[in-house]
């Protein structure tokens, strides 16, 4: 067998795998948006069977045979990256039994419904048994793959391949002291902000969300916007990237900025080279880089001092906003309020919410925290980092959906996204002429084109550290994010003269 024919066989086999994986993605989307409540058992069985089929395809003995016939010297950069990702898939598939993957998929589907009910009833005890089953399954999963010092290395690698736990820990830890210090200074100012609380009809909120999405470049002919309990983006082909949002009738910011956040994710997926579709390279390089796109459009752009001028006018057109001027609006959308909910928190406290989850997850999997102590540990850690105790469990340990699906190792990628977004926006600002002026006029097209060229189109050809180094010229650190946050919120809260 020639290297050329072996590579062709590999790519065809992977096309089957990634096509089926997209079927799983659509089933998950349907479960979150459209599926009847009583369909949960059937959906769990469907997903479990599909995961089993995918595992069989990934453990096909011919894959190793084809890999052994490849001549690395004849492969292009993209082809070498393809082989790297296929080898990674094959290695994992052979180490983790298909029955374990099916059990995890089934438990995730069932666990979501249990979490939803427990959150509704504000009762952690309802969710605790499902959480224990999932943690045990993921411990077994980590043991199958092997790790050096912590099983959390394996869980993080699923979402942030190419990044070490030590490097990620250092970046997150680098935010603790400066953010707690900045938060303390802001609290000391006691600056009164204008309120955006009011009555905002769902229809108008969704109309505004769609209008802003289109302005940012989201292609509705290749996607759609629906409602979900926890906003998310679904799909893995540029032609079908779906986003969801939620509506708070008292505050349009929840819908508006949740939508912008998901649009950031979707713009990334819609910008990946279509020639990589249904291959291991046709996806975001990592969830940290993925999150950098959502946070960049949500924060640096849409909560920034330039594009927010255009957003202010849109909000005036849709909702009136009374006699509130732009300056009051800008301060209001950037208010540091110490929200108990991560997804509703401001830029200063958001990463402290993530640090809380990261530390608890690591402690759970390193068996320094018992499951029965999770709720108490959550409340204690919230007090330590954010200065308050959650008023109820639905606004505490049950506020996030991730654990029900077994997505341990996911949370740190949110902060990595903030770190990467600060680096990327600074680089774009240097390279795009008059970016601030363009954004103030609501023109984000040149920024999107820059991101498409430097980040989106490459898919997984490069690892996250490689991609960030190519774009920014150095390995990412937390320092640019700290400088950005200190500068922005010192200006808003007048901290320079404090």
Strands 233-237, 240-245: pairing is antiparallel
Residues constituting the chain = 498
Catalytic residue among 32, 153, 160, 262, which?
Answer: 262
Strand extents, DSSP E, 140-204: none
- CB-count exposure of residue 111 (10 Å: 0-12, 13-18, 19+): buried
Which residues contact residue 390 at a Cβ distance below 8 angstroms, ignoring those fewer than 6 apart?
340, 378, 379, 382, 396, 397, 399
d(CA 132, CA 83): 36
* Distances in whole angstroms, Cα of residue 330 to Cα of each of 95, 302, 308: 52, 10, 7
Strands 240-245, 225-227: pairing is parallel
CB distance 333 to 196 below 8 Å: yes
b/e string for 257-269 if b means 16 or more Cβ within 10 A? bbbbbbbbbbbbb
What is the enclosing helix (H) or strand (E) of 442? Answer: none
3-state secondary structure (DSSP) of residue 225:
strand
Does 347 participate in catalysis according to the annotation?
A: no
Residue 393 token pair: 């469990």
Could you give the residue numbers annotated as active site? 262
């Amino acid at each position: 067998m020639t290297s050329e024919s072996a590579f062709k066989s590999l790519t065809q086999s992977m096309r089957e795998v990634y096509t089926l994986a997209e079927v799983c993605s659509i089933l998950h989307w349907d479960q979150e948006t459209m599926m009847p409540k009583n369909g949960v058992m059937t959906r769990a069985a469907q997903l479990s069977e599909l995961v089993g089929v995918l595992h069989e395809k990934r453990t096909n003995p011919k894959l190793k045979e084809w890999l052994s016939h490849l001549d690395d010297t004849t492969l292009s950069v993209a082809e070498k990256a393809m082989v790297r990702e296929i080898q990674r898939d094959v290695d994992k598939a052979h180490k983790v039994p298909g029955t374990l993957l099916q059990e995890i998929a089934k438990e995730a589907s069932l666990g979501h419904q249990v979490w939803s009910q427990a959150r509704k009833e504000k009762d952690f005890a309802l969710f605790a048994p499902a959480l224990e089953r999932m943690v045990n399954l993921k411990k077994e999963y980590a043991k199958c793959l092997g790790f050096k010092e912590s099983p959390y290395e394996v869980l993080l690698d699923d979402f942030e391949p190419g990044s070490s736990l030590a490097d990620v820990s250092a970046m997150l830890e680098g935010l603790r002291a400066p953010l707690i210090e900045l938060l303390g200074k802001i609290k000391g100012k006691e600056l009164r902000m204008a309120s955006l609380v009011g009555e905002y009809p769902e229809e108008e909120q969704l109309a505004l969300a769609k209008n802003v999405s289109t302005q940012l470049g989201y292609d509705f002919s290749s996607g759609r916007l629906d409602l979900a309990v926890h906003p998310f983006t679904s799909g893995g082909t540029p032609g079908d990237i779906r986003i969801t949002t939620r509506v708070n009738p008292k505050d349009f910011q929840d819908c508006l900025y949740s939508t912008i956040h998901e649009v950031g994710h979707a713009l990334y997926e819609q910008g990946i080279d279509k020639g990589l579709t249904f291959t291991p390279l046709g996806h975001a390089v990592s969830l940290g880089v993925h999150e950098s796109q959502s946070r960049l459009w949500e924060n640096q752009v849409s909560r920034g001092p330039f594009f927010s001028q255009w957003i202010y006018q849109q909000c005036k057109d849709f909702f009136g906003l009374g006699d509130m001027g732009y300056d009051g609006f800008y301060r209001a959308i950037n208010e540091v309020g110490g929200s108990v909910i991560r997804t509703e928190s401001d830029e200063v406290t958001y990463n402290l919410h993530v640090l809380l989850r990261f530390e608890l997850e690591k402690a759970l999997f390193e068996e320094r925290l018992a499951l029965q102590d999770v709720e108490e540990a959550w409340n204690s850690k919230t007090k330590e980092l954010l200065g308050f105790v959650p008023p109820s469990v639905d606004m505490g340990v049950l506020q996030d959906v991730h654990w029900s699906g077994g997505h341990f190792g996911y949370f740190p990628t949110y902060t990595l996204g903030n770190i990467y977004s600060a680096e990327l926006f600074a680089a774009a600002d240097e390279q795009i002429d008059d970016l601030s002026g363009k954004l103030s006029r609501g023109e984000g097209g040149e920024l999107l084109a820059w991101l498409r060229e430097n980040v989106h189109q490459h898919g997984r050809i490069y690892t996250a550290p490689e991609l960030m180094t190519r774009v920014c010229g150095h390995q990412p650190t937390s320092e640019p994010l700290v400088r950005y946050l200190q500068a922005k919120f010192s200006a808003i809260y007048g901290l320079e003269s404090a």
